[in-house]
Structure 1
Amino acid sequence: MQSNWLIEHWQQIETLGLYLFFAVLFFFIGMAIYDVLKRGEVPAFGRAIVWLVLFLGCAGFIAKGVIKAFFTATGTGG
Protein backbone atom coordinates (compact mmCIF):
# COMPACT_ATOMS: atom_id res chain seq x y z
CA MET A 1 0.00 0.00 0.00
CA GLN A 2 2.74 2.47 0.90
CA SER A 3 4.69 1.88 -2.33
CA ASN A 4 1.47 2.49 -4.29
CA TRP A 5 1.17 5.93 -2.65
CA LEU A 6 4.77 6.64 -3.58
CA ILE A 7 4.15 5.78 -7.22
CA GLU A 8 1.03 7.97 -7.37
CA HIS A 9 2.80 11.03 -5.91
CA TRP A 10 6.24 10.61 -7.47
CA GLN A 11 5.99 13.69 -9.70
CA GLN A 12 5.02 15.90 -6.76
CA ILE A 13 7.88 14.48 -4.67
CA GLU A 14 10.34 15.16 -7.50
CA THR A 15 9.08 18.74 -7.85
CA LEU A 16 9.37 19.37 -4.12
CA GLY A 17 12.88 17.90 -4.10
CA LEU A 18 13.91 20.14 -6.99
CA TYR A 19 12.59 23.24 -5.23
CA LEU A 20 14.38 22.28 -2.01
CA PHE A 21 17.58 21.73 -3.98
CA PHE A 22 17.34 25.21 -5.49
CA ALA A 23 16.60 26.74 -2.07
CA VAL A 24 19.72 25.10 -0.62
CA LEU A 25 21.74 26.18 -3.66
CA PHE A 26 20.59 29.80 -3.28
CA PHE A 27 21.49 29.63 0.42
CA PHE A 28 25.03 28.45 -0.31
CA ILE A 29 25.45 31.04 -3.04
CA GLY A 30 24.37 33.69 -0.52
CA MET A 31 26.83 32.42 2.08
CA ALA A 32 29.67 32.45 -0.47
CA ILE A 33 28.81 35.99 -1.54
CA TYR A 34 28.64 37.10 2.09
CA ASP A 35 32.10 35.67 2.72
CA VAL A 36 33.61 37.29 -0.39
CA LEU A 37 32.07 40.67 0.46
CA LYS A 38 33.28 40.46 4.06
CA ARG A 39 36.85 39.45 3.18
CA GLY A 40 37.06 41.94 0.32
CA GLU A 41 35.90 44.81 2.54
CA VAL A 42 33.44 45.96 -0.12
CA PRO A 43 31.78 49.36 0.54
CA ALA A 44 28.17 49.44 1.68
CA PHE A 45 26.83 50.61 -1.71
CA GLY A 46 28.54 47.72 -3.50
CA ARG A 47 27.21 45.22 -0.98
CA ALA A 48 23.69 46.60 -1.43
CA ILE A 49 23.90 46.19 -5.21
CA VAL A 50 25.19 42.62 -4.90
CA TRP A 51 22.42 41.63 -2.47
CA LEU A 52 19.80 43.34 -4.64
CA VAL A 53 20.87 41.33 -7.67
CA LEU A 54 20.87 38.11 -5.67
CA PHE A 55 17.43 38.89 -4.24
CA LEU A 56 16.00 39.68 -7.68
CA GLY A 57 17.33 36.38 -9.01
CA CYS A 58 15.64 34.46 -6.20
CA ALA A 59 12.44 36.47 -6.56
CA GLY A 60 12.35 35.78 -10.29
CA PHE A 61 12.71 32.06 -9.67
CA ILE A 62 9.90 32.12 -7.10
CA ALA A 63 7.67 34.26 -9.36
CA LYS A 64 8.19 31.79 -12.21
CA GLY A 65 7.01 28.95 -9.98
CA VAL A 66 3.96 30.85 -8.77
CA ILE A 67 2.98 31.91 -12.30
CA LYS A 68 3.44 28.37 -13.60
CA ALA A 69 1.30 26.97 -10.77
CA PHE A 70 -1.40 29.58 -11.44
CA PHE A 71 -1.54 28.80 -15.16
CA THR A 72 -1.58 25.06 -14.51
CA ALA A 73 -4.39 25.41 -11.97
CA THR A 74 -6.53 27.49 -14.31
CA GLY A 75 -5.97 25.13 -17.23
CA THR A 76 -4.23 27.65 -19.48
CA GLY A 77 -0.74 26.19 -19.14
CA GLY A 78 0.86 22.83 -19.57
Structure 2
Amino acid sequence: MLMQYMEQIEALGLNIFFASIFFFIGMAIHDVLKQGKVPKFGRYIVWLVLFLGCSGFIAKGIIQMTWETTGIS
Protein backbone atom coordinates (compact mmCIF):
# COMPACT_ATOMS: atom_id res chain seq x y z
CA MET A 1 0.00 0.00 0.00
CA LEU A 2 2.85 2.36 0.70
CA MET A 3 4.21 1.89 -2.82
CA GLN A 4 0.93 3.18 -4.26
CA TYR A 5 1.38 6.54 -2.57
CA MET A 6 5.15 6.82 -2.92
CA GLU A 7 4.93 9.64 -5.49
CA GLN A 8 2.58 11.66 -3.29
CA ILE A 9 4.75 11.09 -0.23
CA GLU A 10 7.82 12.24 -2.14
CA ALA A 11 6.05 15.36 -3.40
CA LEU A 12 4.81 16.20 0.09
CA GLY A 13 8.28 15.68 1.55
CA LEU A 14 9.82 17.90 -1.10
CA ASN A 15 7.28 20.66 -0.43
CA ILE A 16 7.93 20.48 3.31
CA PHE A 17 11.68 20.58 2.62
CA PHE A 18 11.37 23.73 0.49
CA ALA A 19 9.13 25.39 3.10
CA SER A 20 11.67 24.68 5.82
CA ILE A 21 14.53 25.96 3.66
CA PHE A 22 12.65 29.21 2.99
CA PHE A 23 11.95 29.54 6.72
CA PHE A 24 15.62 29.10 7.64
CA ILE A 25 16.70 31.50 4.90
CA GLY A 26 14.26 34.05 6.30
CA MET A 27 15.59 33.58 9.82
CA ALA A 28 19.18 33.97 8.63
CA ILE A 29 18.33 37.11 6.68
CA HIS A 30 16.48 38.52 9.69
CA ASP A 31 19.54 37.91 11.87
CA VAL A 32 21.93 39.51 9.38
CA LEU A 33 19.70 42.55 8.95
CA LYS A 34 19.35 42.93 12.72
CA GLN A 35 23.07 42.65 13.44
CA GLY A 36 24.03 44.85 10.49
CA LYS A 37 21.67 47.65 11.57
CA VAL A 38 20.29 47.97 8.03
CA PRO A 39 17.90 50.92 7.45
CA LYS A 40 14.18 50.19 7.09
CA PHE A 41 14.13 50.82 3.33
CA GLY A 42 16.89 48.23 2.81
CA ARG A 43 15.03 45.74 4.98
CA TYR A 44 11.87 46.20 2.93
CA ILE A 45 13.79 45.60 -0.30
CA VAL A 46 15.40 42.44 1.08
CA TRP A 47 12.07 41.04 2.29
CA LEU A 48 10.41 41.93 -1.02
CA VAL A 49 13.03 39.97 -2.95
CA LEU A 50 12.67 37.01 -0.58
CA PHE A 51 8.88 37.11 -0.93
CA LEU A 52 9.08 37.23 -4.73
CA GLY A 53 11.37 34.20 -4.73
CA CYS A 54 8.98 32.25 -2.51
CA SER A 55 5.95 33.29 -4.55
CA GLY A 56 7.66 32.02 -7.71
CA PHE A 57 7.96 28.54 -6.21
CA ILE A 58 4.38 28.68 -4.96
CA ALA A 59 3.11 29.76 -8.39
CA LYS A 60 5.09 26.95 -10.03
CA GLY A 61 3.54 24.43 -7.66
CA ILE A 62 0.01 25.70 -8.29
CA ILE A 63 0.50 25.71 -12.07
CA GLN A 64 1.99 22.23 -12.00
CA MET A 65 -0.84 20.92 -9.82
CA THR A 66 -3.55 22.38 -12.08
CA TRP A 67 -1.87 21.05 -15.21
CA GLU A 68 -1.59 17.57 -13.72
CA THR A 69 -5.24 17.51 -12.61
CA THR A 70 -6.49 18.66 -16.02
CA GLY A 71 -4.31 16.15 -17.85
CA ILE A 72 -2.18 18.64 -19.81
CA SER A 73 1.15 17.18 -18.73
What TM-score does the superposition give when structure 2 sets the normalisation length? Answer: 0.98
**What does the per-residue CA deviation read over 1:25-54, in whole Å, with 9 as the maximum and x for residues that have no partner?**
000000000000000000000000000000
Count of residues paired in the alignment: 73
Structure 1 stretches of 5 or more lacking a match? none
1:61 corresponds to: 57
- Equivalent-residue separation in structure 2 for 1:39 and 1:64 (angstroms): 33
* TM-score (structure 1 length as normaliser): 0.91
Partner of 2:47 in structure 1? 51
Tell me: higher relative CO, structure 1 or 2? Use CA pairs within 8 A at least 6 residues apart: 2
**Which is higher, the Rg of structure 1 or of structure 2?**
1
Identity percentage over the alignment? 64
Which 4+ runs in 1 deviate beyond 6 A?
A: none
